């Protein structure tokens, strides 16, 4: 049975699972969107969805069809969680204004948040987005070290400001002149590729340009590179510090208990970064993010220039973020992610025995990469695109990642249940069975 579609024209992060003009008949809404929003915006899937409602791990489209969400980490504690919704509404009815007035809420939340981090990390600066947080973190690192170079992975995504776009090679626009990229481990290669060796080589490439590293900017599960939970990260960190640099742990995706085995992705590797960045999952989708840092690292930047963000930590966003911590604690979502994640990986491992197209299953907690391959062993780029679009037809939503766009990125809201995991496995079994027939 030939169900294969047209391979994507690009495997970069915004294009790997994107609708393209002419791919299907354009709806009236798509035509209006393109006309007023322009061509830079992307839509998911060959047949885009109009999502109008969400709750927990479910989304509903304009026709009332229900979908299982296996992708949206931004709604970290579940879509429209009632405790978070109530906290937002209550605060919005009282006050939301800029951050240059004294406010007890932001101070109390910062204290609560920092208490969840290792002791050396004792300062918080709030922003509106992970992009802003990573932009600020790099500026802080450069001020602290007096050095300019930045090391990122080959498929990293760290945001869309001018500065961090140049540190986000997955966007396909290249990297900045003071940035070097290093490869992710390749589980399909022999011998196994050392991440730390790549970082050491990156330091040498910077030196050849007359640069020293200000920072290793890293999402510790390498989510855009294909989800790689096993890294010799401590060795890589030691190399960066020996060269005078610091570590920026981008926790926008692996943070807040998602990996199950630890509250923070970096904690899985027994390292303590100088700087940690957080993004919108901390507010369940509200525009709030943060830079958390060691005081001594933040001080040179603070002494050199003031930082002000009008809505970075405004009252409504802080209320949402505080409510998210309530839910994480009350519902035990880190332990839940660990338990359900183990069961989901076991189900996927069983499918890998049956389906020749599954090359690898890897991850931790509710952050799993399912790598696909063609019959000849080559990357399953077109196959992955077909799988996610056929899953969408079956009411399951996810996307892809990795250098070849051959890895399904399974990253659902944290309340994802055992029944949800079983449904995903059943639908994936059916899709792969059809495609392999």
CA distance 112 to 107: 9
How would residue 322 be classed by pLDDT, with cut points 50, 70 and 90? very high
- Say whether pLDDT at 9 is over 60: no
CA distance 67 to 79: 12
Identify whether the C-beta of residue 352 lies closer than 8 Å to the C-beta of residue 168: no
CA distance 431 to 388: 9
CA distance 138 to 227: 23
> What is the mean predicted confidence (pLDDT) over 159-183?
95
> What is the mean predicted confidence (pLDDT) over 394-404?
96
Least confident stretch, 17-21, 102-106, 393-397: 17-21
DSSP string, 228-284: -----HHHHHHHHHHTT-EEEEE-TTTTTTTTSS-SSGGGGGT---SEEEE-GGGGT
CA distance 383 to 2: 11
pLDDT at 41: 79
Q: How far is CA 290 from the centre of its chain?
A: 15
pLDDT, tens digit, 9 for 90 and up, residues 90-125:
999 999 998 989 999 999 999 999 999 999 999 999
Residue 66 buriedness (CB in 10 A; 0-12 / 13-18 / 19+)? exposed
Tokens of 430: 């059916």
pLDDT at 8: 41
pLDDT, tens digit, 9 for 90 and up, residues 27-66:
888 888 888 887 777 888 988 999 999 999 999 999 999 9
- Answer with the residue of higher pLDDT: 196 or 18: 196
Strand, helix or coil at 106? helix
Strand, helix or coil at 57? coil
- Percentage of the chain beyond pLDDT 70 is 93
Tokens of 367: 């952050």
Q: How far is CA 409 from the centre of its chain?
A: 10
Identify whether the C-beta of residue 117 lies closer than 8 Å to the C-beta of residue 145: no
pLDDT, tens digit, 9 for 90 and up, residues 259-285:
999 999 999 999 999 999 999 999 999
CA distance 335 to 341: 10
pLDDT at 11: 46
How would residue 18 be classed by pLDDT, with cut points 50, 70 and 90? low
Tokens of 138: 């790099």
* The Cα angle at residue 57 between residues 168 and 21, in degrees rounded to 5: 50
DSSP run (H or E) holding 435: helix 418-436
DSSP string, 174-190: ---TTEEEEPPP-TTSS
pLDDT at 191: 63
Least confident stretch, 47-51, 333-337, 370-374: 47-51
pLDDT at 13: 61
pLDDT, tens digit, 9 for 90 and up, residues 135-164:
999 999 999 999 999 999 999 999 999 999
């Amino acid at each position: 049975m030939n169900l294969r579609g047209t391979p994507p024209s690009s495997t970069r992060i915004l294009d790997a699972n994107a609708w393209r003009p002419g791919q299907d008949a354009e709806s009236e809404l798509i035509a209006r969107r393109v006309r007023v929003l322009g061509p830079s915006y992307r839509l998911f899937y060959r047949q885009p969805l109009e999502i109008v409602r969400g709750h927990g791990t479910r989304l509903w489209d304009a026709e009332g069809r229900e979908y299982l969400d296996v992708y949206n980490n931004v709604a970290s504690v579940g879509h429209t969680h009632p405790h978070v919704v109530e906290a937002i509404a209550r605060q919005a009815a009282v006050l939301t204004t800029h951050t240059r007035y004294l406010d007890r809420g932001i101070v109390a939340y910062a204290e609560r948040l920092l208490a969840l981090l290792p002791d050396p990390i004792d300062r918080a600066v709030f922003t509106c987005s992970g992009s802003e947080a990573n932009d600020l973190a790099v500026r802080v690192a450069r001020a602290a070290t007096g050095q300019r170079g930045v090391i990122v992975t080959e498929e990293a995504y760290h945001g869309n400001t001018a500065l961090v776009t140049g540190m986000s090679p997955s966007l396909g626009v290249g990297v900045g002149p003071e940035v070097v990229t290093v490869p992710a481990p390749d589980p399909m290669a022999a011998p196994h590729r050392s991440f730390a060796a790549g970082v050491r080589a990156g330091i040498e490439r910077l030196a050849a340009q007359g640069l020293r590293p200000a920072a290793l900017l890293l999402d510790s599960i390498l989510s855009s590179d294909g989800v790689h939970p096993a890294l010799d990260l401590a060795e890589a960190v030691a190399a960066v510090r020996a060269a005078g640099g610091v570590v920026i742990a981008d926790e926008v995706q692996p943070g807040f208990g998602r990996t199950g085995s630890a509250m923070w992705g970096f904690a899985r590797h027994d390292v303590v970064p100088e700087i940690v960045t957080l993004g919108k999952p901390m507010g369940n989708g509200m525009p709030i993010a943060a830079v958390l840092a060691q005081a001594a690292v933040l001080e040179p930047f603070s002494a050199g220039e003031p930082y002000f963000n009008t809505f970075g930590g405004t009252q409504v966003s802080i209320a949402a973020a505080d409510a998210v911590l309530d839910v994480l604690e009350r519902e035990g979502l880190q332990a839940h992610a660990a338990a359900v994640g183990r069961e989901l990986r076991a189900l996927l491992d069983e499918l890998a025995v049956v389906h020749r197209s599954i090359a690898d299953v890897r991850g931790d907690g509710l952050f799993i990469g399912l790598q696909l391959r063609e019959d000849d062993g080559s990357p399953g780029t077109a196959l992955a695109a077909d799988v996610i679009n056929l899953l969408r037809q079956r009411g399951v939503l996810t996307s892809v990642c990795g250098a070849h766009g051959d890895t399904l990125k399974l990253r659902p809201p944290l309340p994802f249940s055992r029944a949800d995991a079983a449904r995903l496995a059943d639908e994936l079994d059916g899709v792969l069975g059809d495609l392999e027939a």
